[in-house]
Amino acid sequence: MLNDSKVMANIPAADLERARRFYADKLGLEPAGEDPGGLTYTTSGGTSFHLYETDQAGKAGHTIAQFHVADVRKEVDDLGAKGITFEHYDMPGVTWDGDVAGMGSAGHAAWFKDSEDNILCIDDMVPA
C-alpha cells in the first residue's frame, strides 16, 4: 500500500521565523513553498521536509533528519564557519576525528542542533 508513496519529514519549530532564518543563514536552505501550516523545503537531491510551528520542538532527544552529503568533513568545516556547534555522542564502535564520527562501514557522520533544539545529522552517502 505505502510502498509507492512519497515520504516527507516534519521538523518542529517553536518559533517558525527564527527557524526560517537558521535554515537560510546557517544551512543555506530557502523554502520551496509556504502555507498556513509552515514551510516546505525541497533539496536538489529530490527530497523534501516540512518545518511547522509547535511547542513540541526540540523534545525528541534523537535525530530528526539526516542530510546525506558527499563529504562530511567539508560540510562540517563549512557549517562550523557559520557558527554551527557539533554534538558528540558516546556510541559503541564509533571513533571521533574532531567533530566527525567514524562509523566503520557505515561511513562518517556529524550531529548538530538547529535553532529549535532539534538534532540534525549529516552523513556520507554510503551505498546500500
- Summarised one tens digit per residue, pLDDT across range 54-76 is 999 999 999 999 999 999 999 99
3-state secondary structure 49-101: EEEEECCCCCCCCCEEEEEEECCHHHHHHHHHHCCCCEECCCCCCCEEECCEE
pLDDT tens-place string over residues 70-94:
999 999 999 999 999 999 999 999 9
Helix (H, G, I), strand (E, B) or coil at 16: helix
Where do the structural domains in the chain lie, given as residue ranges?
9-54+62-123
Q: Which DSSP state fits 9?
A: E
Fold of 9-54+62-123: 2,3-Dihydroxybiphenyl 1,2-Dioxygenase; domain 1 (3.10.180)
Contact residues for 81 (Cβ-Cβ < 8 A; gap 6+): none
pTM to 2 decimals? 0.92
